């Protein structure tokens, strides 16, 4: 098949492709959600070195799991990985099930990931429809319908299944993903002259490339103002754990408050928490974008005499902060300033 031949000649060499074992395919596909390939590669290698199989993942301490994941974001993904691994240990003897329905039943595995694992690792003829595939197929067939609609996704899934060679379903799915990542790209002008489907692409023939795929405009993110309080005492820094459920569930963070505080307000805040403040030094402003919200932050380095007990806080060493506790990348600006 033309597309598969193109893939075999042009595919990037990626660590999870070298050995498409079910566990490796699963971990890589979860990591690649909302994350670029170049970013994922070192994380994948480190993850495999420390957690090489389902058993090790099922039993890993959550703080260690978060630390391995630190910087990838969307931490619900790695929490679901552990939950799914525990189920695989209990129900399937530590081996991922080799059928689509069972894969789909595991926490954190949706239709795309189930289809990818089933086809790539088990050779089952199941589509794996992600954003790349939706874009490639809608352009290839000139589909001017909203790709966010369930009916349109099913239409594209049916087209993929009809095209899929039964002897190489995994290779075909990966060829679609690769075409979308390397040629029929999401941002910027697609490299149509490098596409194996250039002569048969309806959108290319009709000049519709800029119009397709069609999807609803994203709702604007809401903004939240926050004051980040990096409280230090000698070599210790105060951290607290976010509640389970909601944004950054269970993650460690610096103490913080809603709204932007002035220096004097920080002094008052310290007094209310029985802190004997030595100094308050501004750490500047920072912004971080989540999928539905953006944080506009201002930070202060608050030096105190003693690491007093404050409910919900834990005093960590700077070494712990660097090697043990995972903090969300939203706080990287402030974390980097005290780890210099």
Q: Report, as residue numbers or ranges, the catalytic residues.
A: 29
Please give the backbone phi and psi of residue 309, each rounded to the nearest 5 degrees, phi first: -75, 125
State CA 31 to chain mean position distance: 6
| CA–CA dist 83, 68 (Å, integer) | 16
Cis, peptide link before residue 213, omega less than 30° from 0 = yes
* Complete DSSP assignment for 265-281: HHHHHHHHTT--EEEEE
| CA–CA dist 246, 239 (Å, integer) | 18
* Complete DSSP assignment for 160-190: HHHH--TT-HHHHHHHHHHHHHHTS-SSS--
**Is residue 69 a contact partner of residue 31, using CB atoms and an 8 Å limit?**
no
């Amino acid at each position: 098949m033309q597309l598969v031949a193109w893939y075999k000649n042009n595919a990037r060499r990626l660590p999870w492709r070298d050995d498409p074992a079910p566990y490796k395919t699963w971990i890589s596909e979860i990591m690649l959600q909302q994350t670029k390939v170049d970013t994922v590669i070192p994380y994948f290698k480190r993850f495999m070195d420390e957690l090489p199989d389902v058993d090790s993942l099922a039993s890993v301490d959550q703080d260690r799991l978060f630390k391995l994941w630190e910087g990838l974001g969307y931490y619900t993904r790695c929490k679901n990985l552990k939950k799914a691994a525990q189920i695989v240990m209990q129900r399937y003897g530590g081996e991922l099930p080799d059928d689509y329905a069972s894969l789909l039943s595991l926490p954190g595995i949706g239709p795309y990931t189930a289809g990818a694992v089933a086809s790539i690792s088990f050779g089952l003829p199941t589509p794996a429809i992600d954003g790349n595939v939706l874009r490639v197929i809608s352009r290839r067939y000139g589909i001017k319908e909203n790709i966010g609609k369930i009916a349109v996704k099913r239409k594209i899934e049916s087209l993929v299944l009809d095209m899929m060679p039964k002897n190489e379903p995994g290779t075909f799915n990966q060829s679609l993903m690769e075409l979308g990542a390397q040629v029929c790209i999401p941002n910027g002008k697609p490299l149509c002259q490098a596409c194996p489907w250039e002569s048969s692409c309806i959108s290319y023939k009709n000049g519709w490339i800029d119009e397709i795929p069609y999807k609803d405009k994203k709702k604007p993110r809401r903004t939240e103002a926050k004051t980040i309080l990096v409280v230090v005492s000698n070599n210790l820094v105060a951290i607290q754990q976010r509640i389970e459920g909601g944004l950054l569930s269970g993650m460690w963070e610096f103490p913080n408050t809603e709204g932007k505080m002035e220096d004097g307000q920080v002094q008052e805040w310290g007094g209310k928490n029985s802190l004997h403040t030595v100094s308050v030094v501004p750490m500047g402003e920072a912004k971080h974008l989540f999928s539905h919200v953006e944080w506009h932050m201002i930070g202060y380095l608050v030096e105190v005499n003693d690491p007093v007990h404050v409910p919900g806080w834990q005093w960590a060493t700077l070494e712990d902060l660097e090697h043990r506790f995972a903090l969300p990348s939203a706080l990287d600006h402030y974390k980097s300033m005290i780890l210099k």
